[in-house]
Structure 1
Amino acid sequence: MDLNETAVFVKVVQMGSFSAAARSLGLPVSTISSRVARLEQRLGVTLLQRTTRSLLLTDKGQAYFAHASQGLELLHVAESAVRASLQEPQGKLHVTAPVDLGYDGLARLAGKFRAAYPAVQLELLLTDRQVDLVSEGVDVAIRVGNLQDSSLVARQVGVACWAPFASAGYLDTAPSLAEPQDLAQHVCLQFTALGKAQWTLSSGAQLETVPLGAQLIANDLNLILSMAQAHQGVALLPTYVVQSAALANPAATALVRVLPSWQAKADPVHLVYPRQRFVSATLRAFLDLAVADLQTWFSVT
């Protein structure tokens, strides 16, 4: 099927003559005539009856013109919609992020984006599983940790650092905490993902592994955060989660970073999206805003 032949036929009918269609399209009359003839030959019917003074549609030509003109108009509408989407953020944007990235920070990011681009419908999927962006139709992901899929485009926004925190209320009545091994004398609120038996802390090139008594273990980071705020012990928490919680609720119990020269794991944080020839205006707008916003959460390498 050659849509050029169809488009020329529709233009001839609309303009009322071969010569008028030729002038409109900027083509020789012979080219217009040959394309209509090829279309008729391919379809096996006569579409136009031509005389020296008039141009008449056959019944078959009338039916073909009705459908073809409508189809070409829909193609023009489709192309216009795509061009518009490349110029102005609009439509849907599907974003995924880990559950423990922090509800407050993500809520602020979503709020900023929605305020800037109200025509975009934003859908957030929070999950700890590795989402297949292409097969699941997800536009962009915030990922913490080393990347596995090299087929994705990645933009690093910083490093997620985990460190020990406690409330002043807990520290006022707890034993001294000057060295990592002192943690053995404390109530340690243990997030399952970081291990049940020990914590490993580093300070420059120095590495310390601290065995812990399993006083409390939980698989929910927000529960660990809440218990630390309730003066129940020392918790290993991402610095961005503590920062985000403080900004979201200034009246909540503040947490103090203990052993400030020591930290647990530090994971790179990336924005990743499927490799594509053309990045839509909607995705580009989210990437620009999210990079700037996420860099305020994380220490940038």
Structure 2
Amino acid sequence: MDLNEAAVFVKVVEAGSFSAAARQLGLPTSTVSTRVARLENRLGVTLLQRTTRRLHLTEPGALYYRHAAAGLGCMLDAEAAVTASSTEPRGRLRVTGPADLGDQLMADIVSRLRRQHPKVSVDLVLTGHYVDLVAEGVDVAIRTGPLKDSTLIAKHVGIACWAPFASPDYLAAAPPVTAPQALRHHHCLQFTPLGKEAWTLADPQGSVVVPLPGEVLVDDARVVHALALAGEGVALLPVHLCRQDCAQGRLVRILPEWHARADPIHIVYPRQRFMPPKLRAFVDLAAEALRQWLAAP
């Protein structure tokens, strides 16, 4: 029996393809295919039916996967238990987060982690797309908004509140903004996930919808932030992203009683019996940093 063949087969099933399994295992796709073929030859059965689009488990394949995955899980638990006994975080940590959370915030988290735990290396991916942590081999994610996957462990760390901001130069040359509806007469820089045709703003008494002409539509909050700093108009931006800009006079929060979307922020990671020290260190440190950044000014 070759346990490597069984481990490769389980990874192929979980990843959904030979190429995805090869990337996660760091092996050539041909090697992965060969090991699965050897396993099928040794067992004398077809485990996987291959089509141009996807893989299908045969009945023997499903039976073998169920038992093999359980056995490999026990072996991984044994190794994780030994690793968890180490008090020093070390090794590579794969982290993902939303691109609109803020470059400075993510840089602050990575810098803190590296200063406190220099033996931990970080692979950071900022993206606006949903990342399947298990399928893509990612250790931990920072996520905004409602959670989709209830199988993950989630740690709530705060709320990211979006509000209207503009530069002092823009406001000096523009009509005063005394109420949300006054924004209809301003150049508004629209981050498309917050609305292409209108903005919805709320205060303690309720909410209003402000129709907008859609003069500038952008799907990247960092570009909207840069345009606001350049005096191009009013933008809805995360409060934590603009705190330093406001302190240094580059931006002004207008209509301070009003805000747009308020997103819950969570740190999420796959459920596991033993948390590796590197993951525990990141979760604790990132939670503290996020709470500080997201705290009200």
Q: Report the CA distance between 1:211 and its aligned residue.
A: 0.5
What residue in structure 2 maps to residue 61 of structure 1?
none
What residue in structure 1 maps to residue 241 of structure 2?
241
What residue in structure 2 maps to residue 226 of structure 1?
226
Gaps of 5+ in 1: 2-74
What residue in structure 1 maps to residue 167 of structure 2?
167
Secondary structure of the 2:292 match is coil
Closer, same or farther: CA 147–277 of 1 in aligned 2, 3 Å: same
What residue in structure 1 maps to residue 53 of structure 2?
none
Distance 1:260 1:232 in 2: 20
Closer, same or farther: CA 110–245 of 1 in aligned 2, 3 Å: farther
Contact 1:203–1:261 (8 Å) recurs in 2: yes
Distance 1:103 1:199 in 2: 25
Closer, same or farther: CA 293–147 of 1 in aligned 2, 3 Å: same
Q: Report the CA distance between 1:84 and its aligned residue.
A: 6.8
The normalised TM-score by structure 1 is 0.69
Are 1:282 and 2:271 counterparts?
Answer: no
Q: Report the CA distance between 1:121 and its aligned residue.
A: 1.0
Q: Report the CA distance between 1:243 and its aligned residue.
A: 2.5
Contact 1:104–1:245 (8 Å) recurs in 2: no
Are 1:270 and 2:274 counterparts?
Answer: no
What residue in structure 1 maps to residue 106 of structure 2?
106
Secondary structure of the 1:297 match is helix
Q: Which one-letter code corresponds to 2:194 in the other structure?
A: L
Secondary structure of the 2:170 match is helix
Q: Which one-letter code corresponds to 1:95 in the other structure?
A: V
Q: Report the CA distance between 1:196 and its aligned residue.
A: 1.3
Kindly report which structure 2 residues correspond to 1:189-204, keeping only aligned pairs within 5 A, or say none: 189-204=189-204
Closer, same or farther: CA 244–131 of 1 in aligned 2, 3 Å: farther
Closer, same or farther: CA 91–99 of 1 in aligned 2, 3 Å: same
Gaps of 5+ in 2: 2-74
Q: Report the CA distance between 1:219 and its aligned residue.
A: 1.5
Structure exhibiting the larger radius of gyration computed from Cα positions: 1
Aligned-residue Cα RMSD (Å) equals: 2.3
Q: Report the CA distance between 1:157 and its aligned residue.
A: 0.5
Q: Report the CA distance between 1:299 and its aligned residue.
A: 3.6
Once the two structures are superposed, residues 129-176 of structure 1 have per-residue CA deviations (whole angstroms, 9 ceiling, x without a partner) of 111111111111000000011111100000010000011111111101
Closer, same or farther: CA 224–79 of 1 in aligned 2, 3 Å: closer
Contact 2:142–2:268 (8 Å) recurs in 1: yes
What residue in structure 2 maps to residue 36 of structure 1?
none
Q: Report the CA distance between 1:85 and its aligned residue.
A: 6.4
The normalised TM-score by structure 2 is 0.70
Are 1:157 and 2:153 counterparts?
Answer: no
Are 1:260 and 2:256 counterparts?
Answer: yes
Kindly report which structure 2 residues correspond to 1:71-82, keeping only aligned pairs within 5 A, or say none: 82=82
Are 1:297 and 2:290 counterparts?
Answer: no
Are 1:126 and 2:122 counterparts?
Answer: no
Contact 1:102–1:244 (8 Å) recurs in 2: no
Once the two structures are superposed, residues 243-266 of structure 1 have per-residue CA deviations (whole angstroms, 9 ceiling, x without a partner) of 26668xx5xx61110000000010
What residue in structure 1 maps to residue 70 of structure 2?
none
